[in-house]
Amino acid sequence: MKIRNSAGRWGGRVIGATFAFVALAASAHHSFAAFFDNQKSVSVQGKVTQFHFANPHGIIAIEVTNPDGTKTLWKGETNSPSMMARRGWTKESIKVGDTVTIDGWPARDNAPYVRIRELKGPDGKVIGKSSDAASEAKQ
């Protein structure tokens, strides 16, 4: 008579599923170097259409008017809100309709997407403290 150990089989499946879930969750949070080129820099100015100050990263969307008069929607990614708060940002730092200048690292795929190094408000003053590539790479 053969006795099957179904608990052992299920235990292995549960452990395997747990590892798969952890790997998927870890890959969901992308690395700075995978998406942004820290050897290049981009600066765009436009009107804020969205300011999302939430985890895992804040997002600022701005409408940029190109030299030919067409408009492009650029998105700038910040650190987490807790990191931004330590750098002097709040939910009220910028508002929809403000004209801002974003300086940062461009997306590797040339999309209108940037990791924000520094943001200047409507008055031209830097909001919060600037970031650097070394601290971004640790994110």
Report the predicted TM-score, pTM, of the whole model to 2 decimal places. 0.71
Question: What rounded mean pLDDT belongs to the chain?
Answer: 80
| pLDDT beyond 70 at 53 | yes
Higher pLDDT, 41 or 32: 41
pLDDT per position as a tens digit, 84-136: 899 898 889 999 999 999 999 999 999 999 999 999 999 999 998 876 655 55
Q: How far apart are CA 119 and CA 130, in angstroms?
A: 8
Q: How far apart are CA 53 and CA 84, in angstroms?
A: 9
Confidence of residue 56 (pLDDT cuts 50, 70, 90): confident
Q: Which residues contact 112 (CB under 8 A, 6 or more apart)?
A: 44, 64, 72, 73, 74, 75
